[in-house]
Amino acid sequence: MSTNVLTLVTTTDLKHSNILLALDDPDEVVERHIKETSPRIEKAVTESEDVPLSELLPTPTITDMTKVNIIIIDFGVCMLLLVSHTSDQS
């Protein structure tokens, strides 16, 4: 006898900011960006040296990715449903 359990999660807060694309190789994307982009700095107001700008890295398009990994985040408003099924098949 075997038991199969199906887990379903439903959310009412699905929007573009809760959907992430995970990169296959994030180190490669960072290295390419550093190699192709000249450093940008901002004038320091309180420090004696200028500081590098914090910026978002451009991400590859889905068509440029070899494998698309989608991650859903922010399950603040969601419902978990477990469905159990037992069968006599081995």
pTM assigned to the model: 0.45
pLDDT confidence bin for 74, thresholds 50/70/90:
confident
- pLDDT tens-digit map of 6-61: 777 777 777 888 888 888 888 888 888 888 888 777 776 666 777 777 777 777 78
CA 78 vs. chain centroid, Å, equals 19
pLDDT confidence bin for 62, thresholds 50/70/90:
confident
Domain ranges of the chain: 2-87
Q: What's the pLDDT score for residue 42?
A: 74
Which of 51, 15, 57, 18 has the alpha carbon at shortest distance from 35? Answer: 57
Q: What's the pLDDT score for residue 89?
A: 62
